[in-house]
Amino acid sequence: MSTARTTTVGIIGAGPAGLLLSHLLHRQGIDSVVLELRDRAYVERRQRAGILEQDTVDVLRASGAGARMDRQGLEHHGIELRFDRRSHRIDFPSLTGGRSVMVYAQTEVVKDLVELRLKDGGTVLFEAEALSVDGADTDRPTIRYRHEGAEETLECAYVVACDGFHGIGRRSLPEDLLTVVERTYPFSWLGILADVPPSCDELIYAHHERGFALHSMRSPQVSRLYLQVDPDDSVDNWSDERIWDELDTRFAVDGDWTLRRGPITEKSITPMRSFVAEPLRHGRLFLAGDAAHIVPPTGAKGLNLAIADVTLLAQALTRHHTQGDEAAIDAYSETALRRIWRAEHFSYTMTTLLHADPAESGFDRELRLSHLRYLAGSEAASASLAENYVGFRTN
């Protein structure tokens, strides 16, 4: 038997975007219900990006969700570029007016937000499968979902789909309204987690003729590293010893630096793609996060774009709730897309700049090296990279 409940904002997806939106709305006196397909344990251990832009850090702090981040997160003031066996540091504060980034895993952001929502009495329904969004172009759209074996209906004033690339949110927009553009890259990332202290104080982005490598971290005790591999490669082809040897080769520089090795606890291969669907609104249904856009992880933008989307949307919904003004709601898609496309371009640039394309010519390789040398030698070029990395503020 179907049962019904009502709320002001129905949110599909309890990732960082959906949870933060619910939290921001709660602080403004706007009620919401969050529906999440997976159980809480799965959501809180789902591994994703771990670099927070300055604006993301500021939003979490201002909303009261940043206390543990400030205790345990690792503030970074730059990144290191490696190529030609040399190292070049990009200093963020000096190039961006004092801005920086924070290393704090998405799993930890989600844990913090789940705890806050439940502590505040928020409604987060785990293992609630959204089945359809109906009446998006009416004043009271509904979400039909299945929870605890029963089919139920959530009646809303607004619906926000934060349910990722494979969710029902984007598919609920009329096909003749939606424009989708995408790019698939001819390589993937082999990512590992290792129980070993990082070999660096800041992230290392390495370009090598054998392929790209990235040295990141999850904590002072856990390293996160990546290798460029073929799209059809398998983790079965990569023993621990082979991974460490290849990382050693790609990170090699002239000078005194050693890559620390340790037990590898996780391996996975991630395809690289860019994707944007627009508009981000149909009637009272809105798209946010991976439901609307995907970036290759090279630029560390995916989580930050999702946070920017829902921050903008929370402001627009609050303005309508408190002032009856729908101007910001009407402008949401256009405003968000300006930032999305800036991030897409930066992510594309970082990806094509740092990876070795197996099909490219010698001319293309020399252009890439020329660009890298320009970044390392020009303050203006370094400032552009830094500005985009810490989060470019569009108008």
Task: Just list the catalytic residues.
Answer: 76, 205, 297, 301, 389
Pick the closest to residue 19 from 118, 104, 92, 105 (CA basis): 118
- Say if CB 207 and CB 84 are below 8 A apart: no
- 3-state class of 295 per DSSP? coil
Q: Torsions phi, psi of 157, nearest 5?
A: -85, -35
Pick the closest to residue 259 from 223, 234, 293 (CA basis): 223
Provide the b/e sequence for 174-213 (b: ≥16 CB within 10 Å).
eeeeeeeeeeebebbbbbbbbebebbbebbbbbbbeebbb
- The side-by-side arrangement of strands in the sheet containing 222-229 is 86-91, 78-83, 204-206, 213-219, 222-229, 179-194, 264-278, 293-294
Pair of tokens at residue 177: 């309204």
